[in-house]
Structure 1
Amino acid sequence: MAQDSFDELLLLYMRRIRASASGVATEIGLSREAVNNWRNGLSAPNPRSRDKVVACTRYLRLTETEANRLLSAAGFEPEFPLQAESAGAAQPFAAFQDRLFAQLAQAVPYAISLLLSPAHWGQPPFRQELLQRAKAQYGDGAVLHIQPPYSVSTVPAEY
């Protein structure tokens, strides 16, 4: 697989949600020029700016896989390292998931169950494991994953 380019990925993810450089810059605490330089490939994030790139992944509403891809392209360690581990490895919260699905199984008379988790519940990355387990137990067509928009801003117009 070819090495991902940070500037190309950033441009792709920004275009996907129509994010402006000034919007990203305001949200992650950098200047608009710095974000433009990242996006145009004129500069790359320095080793001390990992937290800025992580904030950028949140603002751009990237999935765990996309966030890891952008961080790797910037030369940083993945934010969600467990996602990349082999499927044979023990899941870190397997007992919790067992209890959760046992409780859901007790709600048999109800046709619909709703499981709410924080919008950023990929830290550590259990969203995929939880979805896979639910699809295996209830069937692919019976599980609907809804991920609402996420913004760290408190201004309703920016949500």
Structure 2
Amino acid sequence: MSLTIGFTNPGAVTIGGKTAATINAMNDAQADASGEALGVEKAESNEVRAGGAAQEGSQAKSGDNLSFTVKMLLKRMQELQKQLQEQQQRLAAAQAASYPTPEAKSQAVMAVQGEIAQTSGALLEVSAALLKEMSKGSSGGNLVNTTA
């Protein structure tokens, strides 16, 4: 969603104490991280692996039986939930604040609602990926990892 308002110095406008450039950089970083967490995008890696054939999408198992992918998805879900709470607080503040015109208030509230919708969508994507990832292990009926 894009909003254009004629300010004399748009670089001085801050949203939540952050400039537009900072917010754009954070959104880009968040999009990259969410793509990696969902497995949509692959991060460039210069890792050296030893000890057998490395398979695409292999999962390192730890003592708690959660794959690395599941742990990353759970971490991402917690981050998104925290972000959603912060956005809901900002929405409440935007609704309670006074604005010079009803249109200005409407636009401010709609902007935060749009952010909430995007975060909710990302949360749904992570939930679906987590469900898919967790169902991989239970679909075969094996509880023992037989790979060497």
* TM-score (norm. length: structure 1): 0.22
Q: Which has the higher contact order (CA 8 A, sep 6+)?
A: 2
Decide which structure has the larger Cα Rg and report it.
Answer: 2
